[in-house]
Amino acid sequence: MTLADTAHPRPRLILASASPRRFDLLSGAGLTPDAVEPTHIDEHEIPGELPGPLALRLAQEKAMAHPGAEDAYVLAADTVVGVGRRILPKTEDEAEARHCLALLSGRNHRVFTGIAARAPDGRFAARVVETRVKFKRLSEPEIAAYLASGEWQGKAGGYAIQGRAGCFVINLIGSFTGVVGLPLYETANMLTGLGYPVTARMGEAETS
């Protein structure tokens, strides 16, 4: 999909992530990516690595793994949920998701989203955004119902805050969109700093 005005060409924005949530967040902010081109890297943590540094490293590696283009900015991100020094997985089965929900029940945890961007001229920027989240104490019926919903599949920490799990949140300090998968305030500032026309894009009229 391309939104460029041929009379006034602008650089393209490539989202190096397959996450529909990140695409939707950008689109909702008027920054619809011109292309979605996921990069694939080894996402396993290094022994002893903490949640925040892991999120930042993975975002950087994803951005650098993309070949780039002369007319394009590349944006990548990765989200990691941590309880203390412990890194929770991106859950792939119900047993794993149940374990994560039981661990998060009634507790504070932190969500780290790393963002990284490359400009067409090779300039690079990256940062990690931390958000603190507290869950209510979850009953067994609540956990069972959430597992039945399937929303946990592939999600960091076994939940999606923009869905049913939003009912579990007692308190949130930081970036809601960061927990969803892409902190918009920090992302817009990063792209602006690299020269991407964020404000102009936000002002573009939508076309059907």
* Residue 1, pLDDT score: 37
Query: 17 with 79: CB under 8 angstroms?
Result: no
Q: Which domains does the chain have, with CATH numbers?
A: 12-202 (3.90.950.10)
pLDDT at 166 > cutoff 60: yes
Distance CA 174, CA 30 (A): 22
Question: Both ends of the chain: CA-CA distance in Å?
Answer: 12
For the chain, the maximum distance between any two Cα atoms, rounded to a whole number of angstroms, is: 59
Residue that has been written with the tokens 């890297």 in this structure? 41
Residue 1 carries which side chain, given as an amino acid letter? M
Query: What does the pLDDT look like over 76-89, one tens digit per residue?
Result: 999 999 999 999 99
Distance CA 124, CA 190 (A): 10
Q: Which residues contact 5 (CB under 8 A, 6 or more apart)?
A: none
Query: What does the pLDDT look like over 40-61, one tens digit per residue?
Result: 899 999 999 999 999 999 999 9
Catalytic residue annotation: 78
Return phi, psi of residue 128, to 5°: -120, 140
- Percent of the chain having pLDDT more than 70? 94
Query: 146 with 101: CB under 8 angstroms?
Result: yes
Query: What does the pLDDT look like over 114-154, one tens digit per residue?
Result: 999 999 999 999 999 999 999 999 999 999 999 999 999 99
- Specify the pTM: 0.91
Q: What is the DSSP string of the chain?
A: ----BTTB---EEEE----HHHHHHHHHTT---SEE-------PPPTT--HHHHHHHHHHHHHHHS---TTEEEEEEEEEEEETTEEEPB--SHHHHHHHHHHHTT-EEEEEEEEEEE-TTS-EEEEEEEEEEEEPPPPHHHHHHHHHHTTTTT-BTT--TTTGGGGGEEEEES-HHHHHT--HHHHHHHHHHTT--HHHHHTSPP--
